[in-house]
Amino acid sequence: MFRYTALRFGLIVASFGVIWGLVRLHVLPAGLGDSNYLWVILLALVVSAPLSWVLLRGAREQAARQVSDRVERTRQNLSANITMEDEADDAARDAARDGEPHTA
């Protein structure tokens, strides 16, 4: 998961660098007034999104598998804990019932 996040962040930074260079070379238009950096940041985010969808597919699928495995493990542990609680509760009820006189 950390790997995908780091790769995604790196892609945004690389996009920012390329777009900033293109703006400095006047290939892309600069923002109005002092909004130049905001323009470059927004354009870098817009450009990096489809790039990450294509370029980071493997890392994204690996991160999704890790999350899925972690969720499944948590589900199994929760199920095991519930089963142990039910067994302990049943044993305590049986012990309490055996110790009390039965009224019919």
Q: Model confidence over 4-51: pLDDT tens digits?
A: 999 999 999 999 999 999 988 888 887 766 668 888 999 999 999 999
Rounded Cα–Cα distance for residues 77 and 102 (Å) = 37
**pLDDT at 104 exceeding the cut of 80:** no
> Are the beta carbons of 6 and 62 closer than 8 angstroms?
no
Rounded Cα–Cα distance for residues 74 and 98 (Å) = 36
> Cβ–Cβ contacts within 10 Å for residue 81, how many?
10
Q: Model confidence over 45-93: pLDDT tens digits?
A: 999 999 999 999 999 999 999 999 999 999 998 888 888 877 777 778 8
**pTM for this structure?**
0.65
